[in-house]
Chains A and B, each alone.
Chain A
Amino acid sequence: MKHVVVRAAFCAALVLPFAAQAHKMWMVPSATVISGDDAWVTVDAAVSNDLYYPDHFPAQLDQLVITAPDGTTVKPENASTGKYRSTFDLAVPQKGTYRLALVNQGVFANYEVDGQKKRWRGKADELKAAIPANAKNVQVSEMSSRVETFVTQGTPSDGALKPTNKGLELVPVTKPNDLMAGEKATFQLLLDGKPAANLKVAAINGATRYRNAPDEMDTTTDKDGKFSFTWPAAGMYWVNASSEDDKTSVKEAKQRRLGYTATLEVLPQ
C-alpha cells in the first residue's frame, strides 16, 4: 500500500506543473528570515490544490537538494513522508541564504499494450526495461522541474544560488528573502543557463482557501529572461513558470517539459 502511495505521489510530482494548474507543488518553511545562533526551520513539502494546505500528495524527499550559503550540500533531519505531505527539519547555522530545492529529472511514457493505454514515469535509465517489447504508440517525454524555497540567517548571500545550467532555474536580482509588500522584486529565469525570454510567470499568494478568486498575477519574462512583481500584500507567494521544447537528453524522448516553482515570502512593511 505504501508503495502504491509513493508511486502515485511520484507520478504527481513528475507531471507537475504541466498537468492541470490545479495541482501545485511547493515547499513552505516555518520561517524565511532567521536570527539566532541555534536556529532551525521546519519545512512542509506537498502537492496540493489549495495553497498551502496539503490535500493531495506528499512531495518526494529523495529529490531534495539543500545548498548552504558556503555552497556545500547539507542534509535535512527528521525527514518524514505522510499521507498528504512530507516534512523535514533543517539546521541553519551559517550566515547567509540557503536554497532548498526539489529537483526532478525523469521521463514520462505513454504507450499501448493490446489496445490498453498505459503510462509510466521513472528515471531515464529505467525506460528500456520498463516498456514492454510489444508496446505500441510509445511516446516518451523528458521531465525537468525544480521546486524551490529560500531561507536566510542574517545577511542574504548568493553563494547557494548559483545556477546548475540545467532546465529552468531562477536567478535572483532582488534577494529572495528580502521581499516586502508594496516593493518591486525582479528575478531572472534561465533555461539551460541561458535567459528564458518571453515565458509566462504566475504568482499566487497563499491562503487561497479563504478567498473566492485565486488572484493570480501574471507577467512575462523580457528578452533577458527577467520578470518583476510588485507584491500587493504580505504573504507566501507561489511563483511558477513552465515551458516545453525538443532539446531532450534522452534519445527516445521527442519532447522536454520544464517547470520552475518557488515559494517566496513577502513580509509586511
Chain B
Amino acid sequence: MRRLLPILLCVAVTAPVAAADLNLTVEIPQLKVAEYHRPYVAVWLEREDHSVAANLAVWYDMKKADGEGTKWLKDMRQWWRRSGRDQTMPIDGVSGATRPAGQHQLRFIDGKPPLGALAPGHYELVVEAAREVGGREAQRIAFDWPVKVPTHLSAKGTDELGQISLDLNP
C-alpha cells in the first residue's frame, strides 16, 4: 500500500481531464452591396489593461501579390493598435485567408497555441471586422477565466458582424 500511493497520485495528476476550452462562433453577415469584398477579421483576447493576452485569428487577403493584402490590416484599427502593428505577418497558427459570409466555428484549447495557458483573470474577447469599401465594427464579450461551469455568452453585431457566440468550458 505504501508503494502504491505515489503511483495513485501520479494517476490522479495525469488522468485525462477534458481540457478547458473556448468555442467561438463568428457570423459574417450576408450583405447586399454593389461591391462586396470579404471582410478582414481579427479575434483576440484583451486583459483589463487592454494588453493582448492572445491573438486568436486574423483573416486577411494573403494571396495578393507583393504583400498587397497587408496594406489594409491597419483598417482593423483596434487590433492594429493593440497588437497588429507589432506583428510580422503571417502569424503562424493564427492568420489565414478571408472567409465568406456565414457562421464560422473556432475552438481554442487552454494550454495549446494560439490560446496558450490563459492565466486566471478578467478578459474581453474582441472580434473586429473591416471590409474594403465597406464599414468597420468591433464587438466585445467580457468573461472571467477560468469558468466553473460551462458558460454561454454572446454579442450581436450591427453592420459588419452578425451573431457572435462564446462558449466557455471548464
B-contacting residues of A (Cβ < 8 Å)? 31, 33-39, 152, 154-156, 178, 180, 267-269
Which residues in window 49-85 of B have CB below 8 A to A? 66-68, 70-74, 77-78, 80-81, 84-85
Q: With A33-B80, A267-B77 as given contacts, are A38 and B85 in contact (CB-CB < 8 Å)?
A: no
**Residues of B contacting A269 in the complex (Cβ-Cβ under 8 angstroms):** 78
- Please tell me if the beta carbons of B84 and A37 are within 8 angstroms of each other in the complex: no
Interface size on B, residues (CB 8 A): 15
Find the residue from B66, B72, B84, B85 having the highest chain A CB count within 10 A.
B85
- List 3 A-B pairs, minimum CB-CB distance, nearest first: A36-B71, A37-B67, A35-B74
Main secondary structure of the interface of B (DSSP, over half): helix
CA distance A33 to B73 in the complex (A): 10
List residues of B whose CB falls within 8 A of some A CB: 66-68, 70-74, 77-78, 80-81, 84-86
Chain B residues lying within 8 Å of A38, measured Cβ to Cβ, are 66-68, 71
- Can you name 20 A-B residue pairings with CB atoms under 8 Å? A33-B74, A33-B77, A33-B80, A33-B85, A34-B74, A35-B70, A35-B72, A35-B84, A35-B85, A36-B67, A36-B71, A37-B66, A37-B67, A39-B71, A154-B85, A155-B85, A156-B85, A178-B81, A268-B77, A269-B78
A180 to B82: give the CA distance in the assembly, Å.
12
A36 to chain B, nearest CB (A): 3
In the assembled complex, the Cα of A38 lies from the Cα of B70 at a distance in Å of 9
- Bound Cα distance from A76 to B161, whole angstroms: 40
Please measure, in the bound complex, the distance between the C-alpha atom of A152 and the C-alpha atom of B77, giving whole angstroms.
13
Given A37-B70, A155-B85, 5 more A-B residue pairs with CB atoms under 8 Å apart are A33-B74, A35-B71, A35-B73, A156-B85, A178-B81
Residues from chain A with Cβ under 8 Å of B72 in the complex: 35-36
* Bound Cα distance A152, B80 (Å): 12
Between B66, B74, B80, B84, the greatest number of chain A beta carbons within 10 A of the residue's beta carbon is seen for B74
Name the A residues within 8 Å of B78 (CB-CB): 269
Q: Determine which residue in B73, B81, B84 has the highest number of CB atoms from chain A within 10 A of its CB, and name it.
A: B81
Assembly CA distance A102 to B49 (angstroms): 38
Distance between B32 CB and nearest chain A CB, rounded to angstroms: 25
Q: Determine the residue in chain B with the shortest Cβ distance to A39.
A: B71
